[in-house]
Amino acid sequence: MKSRPTPTRILDDDATKPAKPIVLVLLGAYWPNHDATGPNQSFRAYVTALSDEFEFMVVGRDGPSGSDSAEDSRGRWTDDGLVKTRHCRISRLGAEGLRDILRATPHDLMILNGFFDREFTIPTLAMRRLGLIPRLPTILAPRGEFSAGALGLKHVRKQGYLLAARGLGLLDDVRLHATSEQEADEIRDGCPWARDIVVAPNIRALGPPPQAVAPAIDGRLRIVFLSRVDRKKNLDYAIKLLANVRAPVTFDIFGPANHPAYWAECEQLISRVPSHVEAHYRGLIPNADVAATLVGYDLFLLPTRGENFGHAIFDALEVGLPVLISDQTPWRELERIGAGWSLPLADPDRFAATIDRMAALAPTERIALRRAARALAESSLQESDAVARMRVMLNGALRCSNEIAWTPR
């Protein structure tokens, strides 16, 4: 295979210069004021770490449910000093204008996010297969979609797509990006015909040590949920288990509620919680405010159906907030470490009992939990080789891709 020459690119201006390899990232969640979501944090982190070696460009949707929040960057590229960005309106057939963008934008490597994403990933893979866009080196990050809980949602539809993708050869020359050995095993189980799975952990930076937190004046246990409001994140499960909690608690929900039918279901559940449980939806929260917000709570609750990393979980641990999560994430053995609990979803009574147990802890015991949570966040980064492995993954895709000659159609 011939080596790839150093590219020369002309983008939005007239300056022509030898360029770093251009990595074009399709990330549907990347819209203004949505920076707290996990994929966006991961993306910004590896762009920051590797921007001296690669040039990154990102194409995202224009906002939740086709809003006009990113209207100013539709049809053109904007530059925030770290990454060039372009937004697309979403229609029933996916991102509008995606084919033209992929044909017109010079790039050496493409990264897709979300295996079952119907807005960017599936149309792009189909266009690659049909020769409608350049068939350049491509990496696909499933983002935890092959965990048992996540794969079980809309199972028949997902299995149908897997069969179609295999039959059509959509992934024949696509590398799948797992963020842990656990996720790699899940991908192999759910997609055994995948040819190339590369493990590169998520990249995160550690914030300053958290400040001391005073207990609530009214004595309530302050519980927080921070994530997307959808079935995968399992907010309805969290609300239901609170009905069996005996201790007085406050439950605050942060995150985008972009699925009206599901949110209406959650609202109905909230209306039926017992009087000693106060539940409130607090809306979206900018990433810059996450740490200062989370530190004011006593417990982080996320009974997710599956995470390949769990950025919100890390956000909680980072500020010393103990976590109560499902056992469908890489954050295991939390109770042994003393940083929280990871429990099976099949046992909601155990979740409820753990909340009551947390509410009954003495102040010194809560302080110990907070210290252990922060220590876990610190140790997870000290032991991480995430930047090096991400670099290897990108360079490996550029060097070793089975690139197929492209004839425009």
Weakest mean pLDDT among 116-130, 208-222, 279-293: 208-222
Distance of CA 112 to CAs 30, 79, 312, Å? Answer: 12, 20, 21
55 membership: H or E segment, kind and range: strand 55-61
Please report which confidence band the pLDDT of residue 236 belongs to, taking 50, 70 and 90 as the band edges: very high
Q: Are 52 and 393 in contact (CB under 8 A)?
A: no
Please report which confidence band the pLDDT of residue 389 belongs to, taking 50, 70 and 90 as the band edges: very high
Per-residue model confidence as pLDDT tens digits over 303-320: 999 998 899 999 999 999
Distance of CA 74 to CAs 10, 93, 112, 138, Å? Answer: 20, 17, 20, 24
Domains of the chain, each with CATH number or no CATH: 8-201+384-400 (3.40.50.2000), 221-382 (3.40.50.2000)
Please report which confidence band the pLDDT of residue 34 belongs to, taking 50, 70 and 90 as the band edges: low
Per-residue model confidence as pLDDT tens digits over 344-363: 999 999 999 999 999 999 99
User: Is 64 a residue whose pLDDT tops 90?
Assistant: no
Helices (H), ranges, 191-242: 235-242
Average pLDDT, the chain: 88
Please report which confidence band the pLDDT of residue 9 belongs to, taking 50, 70 and 90 as the band edges: very low
